[in-house]
Structure formats: structure tokens, C-alpha cells
Structure 1
């Protein structure tokens, strides 16, 4: 087990310094007069909800963005260039970043991935023996004992994350930024990454650690900077800071009032999940869903929310557990079977998994039940247009024609089509994974309204969202997914954002 006390205390002189940095995008103030410093050997946690400005701050430090005003100094030298030259300037001063989405090539070896694009050469020939030796040393530096010729495809998720960190440590870096490095890892694997962070900081390298897992942050970080609405609100000593106070700083006054919803749920249980396990994220999940109920699932990134919906829908295999639909056990758990039982599923990744961009709104809407728009087994253009128009009108989808390519619609209207697909199919239980991700405020409000209307009709909805503030606006009940199981329950109108966020992060 690592702890902040094991990490070399940071020096007083700042390695990185941002002063008065502001960055505006059309209609958005992404960073507002931010002042930020990190010292050598310091582990600084960076906290804030989605849209708080964390990513913009990181891009400022890496040189990927130029502030509209303000200065960025790395090791005492100001970043003055623009474009790719600015990023190269930051890199030459030792700034490295490991993003949440890993960039490894599974079919290549550990050593090849480590030196990809910067092969050790002599006379134009790659020095394989030197590459293997350096790769072994780089991994040993992080406490990982693996053969350099191991294929990345054979590595565990934690080992892949450590490989990314090892790659960032090549070339004597001075600042390493880790963006949610343990979000996809189970607790035991996360320990390996945290131990590596301890080793890195002990060498005098500054670390910015983006995470919401308070248990991890308390173990390895000296301090935490909290951001909200593009501003740096405060920097606190994580060992002495109260979790609820950190949540209050993250959310501000947004959670002051709980929404009051008209409860449309009925006594009838339409879905029951018993002891569902999906390794490594879910150990034992049990809950029930009533007819006409909107049930929210809250939890941090990587807590297993998506895996839960996928296992229920039959697109991911669980290791254990039982599922009952309308009181009867589901014996053959597959996607087709669940659709036949009246289930509908909207995936988290709308563009990759939810729509076919080049096909029309009509084909995307009707794809779950084409038999309703055929004549003698042949698709009828008239019937397709009529059926699609009903969904367009009902869900207020903005499109000039029913056959307009869905890829040309806004994100909000695309999402309405994805939901409308299951409305057309007559599905009675909807599993919605991040249904408002990437849509504007107006579209979000419309989707909330659609969900409440569907519940009033007697349909039941499981609503998964990483945006804590929207759960009280649409859900009758919210369950908190943490450490592999559902730990706490909140009921409307007593769904308080601060308490809900604290419940999500307190056990991590």
C-alpha cells in the first residue's frame, strides 16, 4: 500500500507555473484567469467535474493550446511558440502526458511500443539489443518484471498502463501528467499504478494526477487542486481535507435544490438483477426496477456502469448472477433474446455503436423492426416515411426529411433517434448509457422530458450518467455503484448532488 508520506516532499521552487491564463472557445470560457504551480517531486491531484477546465489546463501545460492571455512557464522558461512548435518546446522542457485512452499497438512487443517512433539506431540500423536492454530497465524502474519481447496483447490492463507511463519517462522528463490512469482498473491493479507514481515522484519528477478516486488521492497526493467552470477554486491538503468539502468546492451551489418529479412508478417489478458479476468491475450487483420508474446508476468512470448495462442486455457475458424479466428468469441471455423480451439499449458511444452515419434517419430509426414497414416482404418507402415521421414528431427531432443521413444531424438529434428506435420497437425497458453525452443544454432538457414522458406511459428506464448534476433532474431513484457493488440508494426528491458525489468518491 502506498501513501503520501512515502513520497519525497516537494521542493519549494515551482517547476511549472501558469499565471492569469484564460482560454475562450465559441460560447465557452474554458479557462478563466487560472494560476497554477507544481513543484519538483510533488504529486498534485486535479479534481473537477466534466467541463470544469481540467483538459484545457493540461493542454496549456503540454503546449497543445495557447492561452488568450497569461503565461506558462516550464522550469523557468516561458512557452512562447505557437502550433506544433509550442508542443515541442514543452516536450523539450520535460513535459509528458499519459492520456486516458491508451495509444499502444497490441500486435507489437513491449519494447517496440516503448520506442515506437524513436528507435535506437546506429548507422541507420535499429539496435535491437540496446532497445531490449533499455526497455527492461525502463520497466524495472516502475517495478514491472516482464520480458521486453512480450506482446502488448498479452499484458493485463495495469501492465499496459504502466507501459504507457514508462514510455512517458523516457528522456528524463520533469513533469508527468496522468489522466485518469486507474479508471479502467480493478482495485488490485490500481495499486500497481499508484506504486509506480510513488517511485516517479521519489525521483523528483512532478506528477499531476487527474482522478476522482479519493482513496487513491489520499494515498499518493500531497495536495489537490479543485476546478469548477474554468476557474481554479482552491488547492487543499488532501490528508486534512474533508470529502464533502471537496465535493462542495467541485459543485459550488448547483446542488442546493433537489428536483421535484412526479412519480409515475407502479408496484409491478419488471426487472430484477441478482448477484450479477462481471470481472473485473462487478462483484455482486443486485437491484430491481419498477414499471414506470426512472432508475439512475451513479458511479465514477471505470466503476462498471457500462458493463452492468451490457451484461443485462446480453452483449457482455457475466460470470455469475440471475436476471428476471417480468417475474420470469431469463435463461438464454443474448442481445436478440433481450430485444424480444422488450428491452432496448442505447450505447455510451453513440457515433461508433449507436448509429450508422451514412444511412438515413428512417433506416436508423426502424432498424429494430423492419417487418412493420414492409409489403410482401419488401420495404415500403411510404410506410418507412410514415413510421419515421411519427417518431420525428413525437421526439421533436430536427430534420428536413425522413431519409436525411443521420450523420448530418446534431448530436442531440442523433441521440433522440437512437432513443426513438426503441420507442418505435415498443420496448418497455430501456437501458440508457450516457444518453445526454455530447449534446447541448437545450437537447439535454428535451431528452429529460422524453424520458419522463416514457415513464409516465409505463415504460421503465435505467439511466446511467457520469454527470451527477443531471441525475436528480430525471430519476425517481439513484443507486451508487462503487467497489463492484451497489452501495447506496437515494430517492427523489431527496437526491442531493453533494451527497451523491460524496457517495461516489468516498469509497475510492
Structure 2
């Protein structure tokens, strides 16, 4: 079967960067092709050429049997008219509008100059039925779960007659059970003869839905491998260009001292009688499905969200009803789940985003010192291996992995000794994940204590000394390294669902 979309010998340069180097790529109708590579490998550039957002410096882009010939904004419209659709990692839905209004956002159908709500909802219903979705087109997006919002984004690209659908990290913010809904939708799309390019860092998903995977590195297409017969370590080696850096062997250095004692904590409707202890120098993982209450648990401990019942003790001393400032003074640090919305100020520099947790350390007689800010930031950059042109580079221009290192680094700057990390590797590539694991293990080796919340079960054994499973409002099971089996943890998470 011929290719529905292809790049032939495409090269794309930006100032100082060879983003794509003589790339040849083809995908056939009904095929699900995984696209793998760390940040900066060239995946985004390849996608931008296929969607017409960019013109190659050399080479040809072919969609539905004909080369794209237009330039500028007309090129993207040309690709769209031939059936290219894309769903980006950052969702673009408007919460205050209905599902149908979001599906037709920017191109609402009209009759006699009046919005055709009846026709719009009818077409929306058909698009959702193609994915097996049981939702009313009139339902507001604000009331949907994250997985349902992702599915609405996918339903939107099915309007018209798409031939190629590109999905950029569609499950990065979803727990495994929620991700299953998205993968089922992908399988339905492919069964209709639509080609799918699936960008993800989750190998478990890729093995489930893709037959082949194209691996990119340094702007080049390195290989396309059969997923069923490919060893994960070999795929990672192709992505990195050398044997992947293994995460540090988990040599537990947790001490007997109990640094945090949580007892009978309740926060309706998510948490009911939560009790656990965190030791000095320990990395404690919290596993659970999306919506299980993991984020709420961290927020309750940090004083961001008041709980209804329970006791918290730090260093053996009762805290009572903790407040955020009070927990900061006790040495707590908290990184939120949504890095871009809550974790960083994109337009401010790496320096300002780093020292925000402790201005006193970079001040002199109550006045901020530019020299001290730069020195403190350079220490964090060096220690956490942050890749940035300078301390003043806007943090929003860094890769996701480097942004996350700064978010963690600000608590190193504040010398926090108890870190509450909510999805600290969400949406970052495999190399950055390994670096973040190593950072967390090093912090634990120094005697800091970490609570590590993650939706990616497979990473918990790589970084945690213990894992607690949160289900139905309670901590149900406990796993201890080296006996943290991801299949057993997943089974514990979904028991009863």
C-alpha cells in the first residue's frame, strides 16, 4: 500500500541549528506509527513539515499523492485540505463552551447568518460516535475529565475527511486506565483507514497500539523498527546514541528517624483515613489512578488545601492545621502537577524562577542583589545539569525537562528537606527523566525526604524506596524496593475498577 504522507530527503535549518537532516519518512493509510526521540531530536520539525507549518530548505513533502507547493499560511491550509490533522500536547479547548462549540471552534456553521446549533450538534454527535464516546454535544467542556477532554480534541480532528492524524503526547497527563480510552480511540481511527503518527514516551502504550516506531536523533531518522520485536533498551540506545544512562542503583539510605507522620487524614470526597510515615532520606512513591486523590493528598500536607480530619506531625511535633507558609518554614517544598500553569512564570528568567522560594538568601540589607541571584542560580544550574544559555534566559524557552529541573532546583535553593513532587517527570523525554531520577536519589542520599507522585507506574521502581497505592480514598497496599513490581502495583491501582 502506498504512503498517504511522506517526506523525501527533507532538510530544515534554523539559525545555528540543523533541525532536520535529509529525512525520509513514510506512513501508510490505516497504520499507527510511533515517533520516538528525546527533546530536540527533530520530531516537532518533522510534524511541522507534514502540517505545512514550515517549508523544507530542500526535499519534498507529499500528502495524498501530491507534493505541497504553497508557501506561508497557504501551505498549512493546503495540507489541511488534503486531510492532515494534528492534536498537540497542550489542549486548546474553551471550558465555558459546549463540546459541539469546541469541535467547530473558529468555523461554526451558519444558516442565514445565524449559528446552526442543530447541524453543529448533529455533526458533533457523529464525530464522537466514531470514537465510541457517550457524551452529549451540548455538555460543557468544563465538566469533563482530562481523558474526556483529550478525546474531544481527537474527535475535533475527525470532522471532515482526515487522512493523517498526528497525536503529540496524547496521554502525558493521564493515568493508565484513562490512557486506555485514548488508545482505544486511536485503534478506531486506524481501523477507518486513517494513518496515525503517535508521539509518546510511554513504551507500554506504543507496544499496545503501534506496529512500527521511527526513532529520531539529532535531526536525523535513525531507524524504523518493528515494535513487537524491539527491545526497549535497544530503542533507548538508538534514541540517545549510546547505551542509556541507567538510573542509580537504589541503595536505600533512609534512616530510622520519622520525619513526617500523617494519621487519619480525610478530605472529602477523595481522601478517607490516610495514614503513613515518611523517613529521613526516603523516597516514597504514591501510585493511583487519575482522580484517586494523589494531588489532594500532597496539597493537604502542604497546607494548600485544608483537610477535614486528621493529624500531621513533623519531627515528632504536631502541626495541627497546616498552612502553606508554616510548612515552608518547617522545610517543605512542593512542585505542582501542572508545570506550565502553576510551576513556572514563563516570561521570567531561570534566575527569577529559581530564587523565588528564598529571597533572603540573595538579598543584602533587604535589597535583592543581582550578583547573589546569579550566583545562586548558577549553583542550581550546575548541580541539576540545567541546559540554558544563561541565568537570565526566559524559562519558557527551555525544554520541559529543563523547566522541571528548575522547578525542583528552587527548593534546593531554599534548602528544603521534605519535597512533595507531583508528577515531576510529566511530559519530559527519556533522558531528562533519567536525570531527574538521579537528582531525586542524590537529594535523598543527602538526607532529604521525598514524596514522589506519578501516573507512570513503570518509573516508580526506578526511583522509590517504597510505593503506597492510593485507591478508593485509602492507602491500600505497600511495596518496598527491590520488590516493587510494576504489574503488581498497576493491579493494586485498578482493583475494583
TM-score, normalised on structure 2?
A: 0.70
- Structure 2 matches for 1:205-284, cutoff 5 A? 205-255=194-244, 268-271=257-260
* Preserved CA contact (<8 Å) 1:362 1:385: no
1:384 corresponds in structure 2 to: 366
1:402 corresponds in structure 2 to: none
* Preserved CA contact (<8 Å) 1:71 1:78: yes
The 1-side partners of 2:404 and 2:229 are apart by 43
Deviation of residue 425 (structure 1)? Answer: 5.6
- SS of structure 2 residue aligned to 1:87: helix
- The counterpart of 1:349, out of the listed 331, 339, 342, is 339
The 2-side partners of 1:66 and 1:354 are apart by 32
Deviation of residue 340 (structure 1)? Answer: 3.2
CA 1:205–1:283: 2 relative to 1, 3 Å:
farther
The 2-side partners of 1:131 and 1:386 are apart by 56
Deviation of residue 327 (structure 1)? Answer: 4.5
The 2-side partners of 1:194 and 1:75 are apart by 25
1:81 corresponds in structure 2 to: 70
2:103 corresponds in structure 1 to: 114
1:28 corresponds in structure 2 to: 17
CA 1:204–1:340: 2 relative to 1, 3 Å:
same
- SS of structure 1 residue aligned to 2:367: helix
- The counterpart of 2:47, out of the listed 58, 67, 70, is 58
- Structure 2 matches for 1:395-474, cutoff 5 A? 395-396=377-378, 409-411=393-395, 427-431=416-420
* Preserved CA contact (<8 Å) 1:365 1:388: no
The 2-side partners of 1:237 and 1:321 are apart by 52
2:56 corresponds in structure 1 to: 67
**Number of equivalences:** 465
The 2-side partners of 1:417 and 1:435 are apart by 11
Deviation of residue 140 (structure 1)? Answer: 1.6
CA 1:450–1:483: 2 relative to 1, 3 Å:
closer
Deviation of residue 362 (structure 1)? Answer: 8.6
The 1-side partners of 2:21 and 2:241 are apart by 16
2:189 corresponds in structure 1 to: 200
Deviation of residue 96 (structure 1)? Answer: 0.2
The 1-side partners of 2:100 and 2:131 are apart by 15
CA 1:350–1:284: 2 relative to 1, 3 Å:
farther
The 2-side partners of 1:338 and 1:230 are apart by 45
The 1-side partners of 2:350 and 2:198 are apart by 43
CA deviation profile, 1:47-101 (whole Å, cap 9, x unmatched)? 2233332222211211112223222111111122222111111111100001121
* Preserved CA contact (<8 Å) 1:22 1:67: yes
Deviation of residue 133 (structure 1)? Answer: 1.7
Deviation of residue 213 (structure 1)? Answer: 3.0
Deviation of residue 39 (structure 1)? Answer: 0.5
* Preserved CA contact (<8 Å) 2:84 2:163: yes
More deviation, 276-285/43-52: 276-285
The 1-side partners of 2:443 and 2:204 are apart by 39
The 2-side partners of 1:190 and 1:253 are apart by 30
Deviation of residue 170 (structure 1)? Answer: 1.0
2:118 corresponds in structure 1 to: 129
2:26 corresponds in structure 1 to: 37
CA 1:197–1:353: 2 relative to 1, 3 Å:
closer
Q: Does residue 158 of structure 2 align to residue 176 of structure 1?
A: no
- SS of structure 1 residue aligned to 2:34: strand
- SS of structure 1 residue aligned to 2:121: helix
The 2-side partners of 1:104 and 1:119 are apart by 15
CA 1:258–1:358: 2 relative to 1, 3 Å:
closer
* Preserved CA contact (<8 Å) 1:303 1:483: no
More deviation, 165-174/130-139: 130-139
More deviation, 340-349/173-182: 340-349
CA 1:290–1:165: 2 relative to 1, 3 Å:
same
Deviation of residue 243 (structure 1)? Answer: 3.2
- SS of structure 2 residue aligned to 1:130: helix
- SS of structure 2 residue aligned to 1:22: strand
C-alpha root-mean-square deviation of aligned residues, in Å? 5.6
- SS of structure 1 residue aligned to 2:365: helix
The 2-side partners of 1:453 and 1:387 are apart by 29
More deviation, 161-170/335-344: 335-344
2:329 corresponds in structure 1 to: 340
Deviation of residue 41 (structure 1)? Answer: 1.0
The 2-side partners of 1:13 and 1:170 are apart by 24
- SS of structure 2 residue aligned to 1:217: helix
- SS of structure 2 residue aligned to 1:36: strand
2:141 corresponds in structure 1 to: 152
Give 5+ residue unaligned stretches, structure 1. Answer: 1-11, 374-380, 399-405, 440-446, 492-499
CA deviation profile, 1:180-213 (whole Å, cap 9, x unmatched)? 2222233333333222222221211111122233
The 2-side partners of 1:280 and 1:250 are apart by 43
Give 5+ residue unaligned stretches, structure 2. Answer: 381-389, 429-435, 472-476
1:92 corresponds in structure 2 to: 81
* Preserved CA contact (<8 Å) 1:397 1:417: no
* Preserved CA contact (<8 Å) 1:272 1:287: yes
CA 1:72–1:424: 2 relative to 1, 3 Å:
closer
Deviation of residue 14 (structure 1)? Answer: 0.8
